């Protein structure tokens, strides 16, 4: 289990870096900050512990590019991705690259702190992952056929109107199915749902 309380912030926005560092230090974390993915890599990520808070939109190497580079180097640092221009395809890409969570600016402070805690306490144990997979499978089994169809299109990033057109149902019916899916899958937001499905696959 990773539990050092050490958080590395990578964001080209100086004000964002400073506000994140202040917030996290107030919570008892030790932080270090970089203004680019390149400067972080130049400093030697192999020796870094804890987790990363990573902006997805940066000049030069993007946050997603950095995630892929860390994967290529077999550096298993849990990542919390933050973006001001977030959308579902970017969320899927970030989560597939190993992000613990995906938060859009302006993010809620509580949501950020929860994501950091999860990242710092992430376990690599297969038993725990198997247990989570069984729970997810159980929740999936509780969905009706139509709810599963709606969920599959939600995870692909389709808006309600397109889902309605694709399935031949009204947007209002899509909204009802969408709410039921989120309730049965016990997900507070779409990012969490995407993460569950990706983990299962």
Asked if residue 95 lies in contact with residue 71, where contact means CB atoms within 8 angstroms, the answer is no
- Residue range of the domain that includes 181: 126-200
Same domain, 132 and 110: no
Q: Are residues 26 and 113 in the same domain?
A: yes
End residue of a domain, out of 78, 95, 120: 120
Query: For residue 106, which phi and psi values (nearest 5 degrees)?
Result: -80, 125
Site of tokens 């019916």: 173
12 and 98, same structural domain?
A: yes
- The pLDDT tens digits of the residues spanning 146-186 come to 999 999 999 888 899 999 999 999 999 999 999 999 999 98
Q: Is residue 1 part of a domain?
A: no
> What's the pTM?
0.66
Question: Do the Cβ atoms of 155 and 197 come closer than 8 Å?
Answer: yes
Say yes or no: 59 and 73 in one domain: yes
């Amino acid at each position: 289990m990773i539990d050092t309380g050490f958080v590395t912030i990578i964001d080209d926005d100086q004000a964002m870096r400073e506000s994140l560092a202040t917030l996290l230090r107030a919570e008892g974390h030790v932080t270090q900050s970089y203004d680019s993915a390149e400067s972080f890599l130049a400093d030697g990520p192999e020796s870094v512990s804890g987790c990363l808070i990573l902006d997805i939109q940066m000049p030069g190497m993007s946050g997603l590019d950095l995630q892929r580079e860390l994967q290529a180097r077999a550096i298993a640092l849990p990542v919390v991705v933050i973006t001001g221009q977030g959308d579902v395809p970017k969320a899927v890409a970030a989560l597939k690259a190993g992000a613990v969570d995906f938060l859009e600016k302006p993010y809620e402070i509580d949501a950020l702190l929860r994501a950091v805690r999860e990242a710092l306490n992430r376990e690599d144990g297969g038993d725990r992952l198997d247990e989570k997979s069984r729970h997810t499978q159980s929740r999936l089994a509780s969905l009706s056929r139509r709810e599963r169809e709606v969920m599959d299109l939600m995870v692909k990033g389709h808006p309600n109107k397109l889902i309605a057109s694709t399935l031949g149902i009204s947007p209002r019916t899509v909204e009802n199915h969408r709410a039921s899916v989120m309730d049965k899958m016990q997900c507070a937001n779409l990012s969490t749902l995407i993460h569950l499905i990706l983990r299962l696959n």
